[in-house]
Amino acid sequence: MSLIEEINKRRTFAIISHPDAGKTTLTEKLLLYGGAIHLAGSVKARKTTKHAVSDWMEIEKQRGISVTSSVLQFDYEGHHINILDTPGHQDFSEDTYRTLMAADSAVMLIDVAKGVEAQTKKLFRVCKERGIPIFTFVNKIDHFGRNPFDLMDEIENLLGIHAYPMNWPIGLNGSYQGIYDRETATIELFEKDTSHGQHKLASTKGSADDPVFRELLEEDVHQSLIDDISLLDEAGDTFDFEKVKNGQLTPMFFGSAMTNFGVKPFLEKFLKMAPQPQPRKTLETIIDPASEEFTSFVFKIQANMNPQHHDRIVFMRICSGKFEKGMTVNHRQSGKTIRLMQPQQFLATERTIIDDAYPGDIIGVFDNGTMGVGDTLYTGKKKVTFADFPVFPPELFARIRAKDTMKRKQFLKGMTQLAQEGAVQIFENLGSMESYIVGAVGELQFEVLEYRLKHEYGVDLEMNRLPFSIARWIQDNGHDYKEMKNIDSAMIVKDNKQRLVLLISNEWQTNWIIERNPGFTFCTTPDNLKREAEE
Ligand code: G4P
């Protein structure tokens, strides 16, 4: 098969959702279709519900693929599918955001009863900024749910994207009986069952005009469907594939992952519309996936997966060219050449060593500490640099220091390495050489930091949470930051590139400080700072 054919058959996407919307269940059903697993429940079995600090590594072990592999891969009807894993809320961290950088499209999973929830909103924002196509699957329609028009409004109002329903739930007052497919004008009704997803729901399918459905559905349900559909056709958005590709319109599907209703039609339509690996921007040029030269970027590092061996696996997304086992590549950041040994891919339940891989694929390779998150690897003479990963504004902060001051060296080493992995964001505490300020987007990042410094570097941490929830990068516009007014309740720190950052408790205080310091500019991320301010 040619490189272009390999690229065309690949679909690499992430499922974004709030915990409990049914991501594990949907993933499992997709894997079942691909034949990658044979038994419903095998993905779920690895899910743990409680995350105690002390058993973090145990969690890693038990969950196997769901935490450490980052990607699940299977084939379905000529497509090669890579599902990127974005862990649920207990695990919520910058890792989750960064994984989205490796996706070509996203599936936004929403619980029909709950609508758009907090976590979905956060993850959605990252996808929207990247301009990747977003597909919506409204799950659990076998259960009581909200009005579909309300959900469309909510998506538009909260997320700023229009939704185009590909199908429509049939029923009244939130009690649904099936779906209507708008493209084929067919109805599929499911039979209620009580097996809690043990069985695929039996269903009746046919043309919407078929009088059978008038009988099967009660008169008012049938009429309401007809009314809804004509309202959608007349007043709803038209289907514009260009808008879907640019992430301005989201095709919306209704279904039920648990009872496997509407999952297969979703998968098939999704595969038709979702993009194959696309050209990617670098600082130098735009890289076509079909280019002969291999390029990839690191989006995740998992160190000490096996604590006995201190191994470190670097996950990279291939952007162009063909990858071959043992190939030598240039590492842009260090200028070294590196041989990519023991490349691994991850089937549903096991890791395998692979011989080759193509754009869109994710591979994991062992690394001795050279590579960092966001780094570029490439072959050929021309330098390639994928742009820096965006910095995600941290919302949680803590001051940390080594309990034992004699362990300062190990503490520094540990912090440097964990910062390189992107485990937390580290800030310099202007008043002290002994302590650092760390920032995170999720609670688990702190737990992991504490656990890993102790177990991998032998350092016990003293950690004090700080009452801040907002970080603003400061552009001084030629003023001395010491002249800033009304910042007694805030704290000034420096990020790893020596840029000044103000930590603040709440929105109200932020506005207060901004008003009183008109000479300074306050940016939500360092990417927004003017270049000269960075240098
Ligand atoms: P997550 O990964 O997004 O956190 O969600 P997960 O798949 O674990 O699903 C969360 C709960 O929602 C599970 O119930 C699951 O069975 C249920 N669920 C998923 N899809 C559907 C659906 O289409 N319809 C209905 N009615 N429920 C669905 P649980 O009680 O927490 O777990 P379990 O006892 O089912 O294992």
User: Is residue 139 in contact with ligand 1, taking CB distance under 6 Å?
Assistant: yes
Helix and strand tally (H, E) in the chain? 14, 31
Higher pLDDT, 467 or 56: 467
pLDDT, position 45: 41
CATH architecture for segment(s) 396-534: 2-Layer Sandwich (3.30)
CA proximity to 439, closest of 491, 476, 375: 491
pLDDT, position 53: 31
Which residue do the tokens 């640019």 mark?
246
User: 154: burial class by Cβ within 10 Å (0-12, 13-18, 19+)?
Assistant: middle
CA proximity to 243, closest of 235, 251, 252, 231: 251
The Cα–Cα gap between 282 and 217 comes to 55
Is 88 annotated as belonging to a binding site?
yes
* Dist. CA 508 → ligand 1 center (Å): 38
Inform me whether the pLDDT recorded for 352 exceeds 50: yes
* Dist. CA 113 → ligand 1 center (Å): 13
Question: Of all protein residues, whose CA lies closest to atom 6 belonging to ligand 1?
Answer: 22
pLDDT mean across residues, the chain: 84
Encode pLDDT of 221-236 as tens digits: 988 998 999 999 998 8
CATH architecture for segment(s) 280-378: Beta Barrel (2.40)
pLDDT, position 357: 92
The Cα–Cα gap between 79 and 235 comes to 35
- Distance set, CA 439 to CA 51, 238, 304, 458 (Å): 20, 44, 22, 22
Neighbours of 433 (CB within 10 A): 9
CATH class of 10-169+238-273: alpha beta
In the chain, CATH 3.40.50.300 sits at: 10-169+238-273
Inform me whether the pLDDT recorded for 290 exceeds 50: yes
User: Is residue 114 in contact with ligand 1, taking CB distance under 6 Å?
Assistant: no
The region of weakest confidence among 88-92, 153-157, 310-314, 327-331 is: 88-92
User: Is residue 24 in contact with ligand 1, taking CB distance under 6 Å?
Assistant: yes
Average pLDDT value for residue range 273-284:
95
User: Is residue 9 in contact with ligand 1, taking CB distance under 6 Å?
Assistant: no
CA proximity to 48, closest of 103, 4, 91: 91
Q: How far is CA 84 from the centre of its chain?
A: 7
In the chain, CATH 3.30.70.3280 sits at: 396-534
Question: Of all protein residues, whose CA lies closest to atom 32 belonging to ligand 1?
Answer: 20
Helix/strand/coil for 184: coil
Higher pLDDT, 366 or 480: 480
Extended beta strands in 273-424, E state: 280-281, 286-287, 295-303, 312-320, 323-324, 328-331, 337-339, 344-346, 351-353, 356-357, 362-366, 376-378, 396-402
Q: Which atom of ligand 1 is nearest to the CA of 259?
A: 23
Encode pLDDT of 394-447 as tens digits: 999 999 999 998 999 999 888 888 887 888 899 998 877 778 999 998 887 888
* Dist. CA 37 → ligand 1 center (Å): 18
Which contiguous run of DSSP H or E holds residue 453?
helix 443-457
In the chain, CATH 2.40.30.10 sits at: 280-378
Is 19 annotated as belonging to a binding site?
yes
Inform me whether the pLDDT recorded for 375 exceeds 80: yes
Which residue type does 314 have?
Answer: V
Inform me whether the pLDDT recorded for 291 exceeds 90: yes
Inform me whether the pLDDT recorded for 174 exceeds 90: no
pLDDT, position 65: 32
pLDDT, position 50: 34
User: Is residue 119 in contact with ligand 1, taking CB distance under 6 Å?
Assistant: no
β-sheet bridge partners, residue 136: 108, 252
- Kind of pairing, strands 134-139 and 105-111? parallel
pLDDT, position 192: 66
Inform me whether the pLDDT recorded for 379 exceeds 80: yes
Is 370 annotated as belonging to a binding site?
no
* Contact status, residue 332 vs residue 282, Cβ threshold 8 Å: no
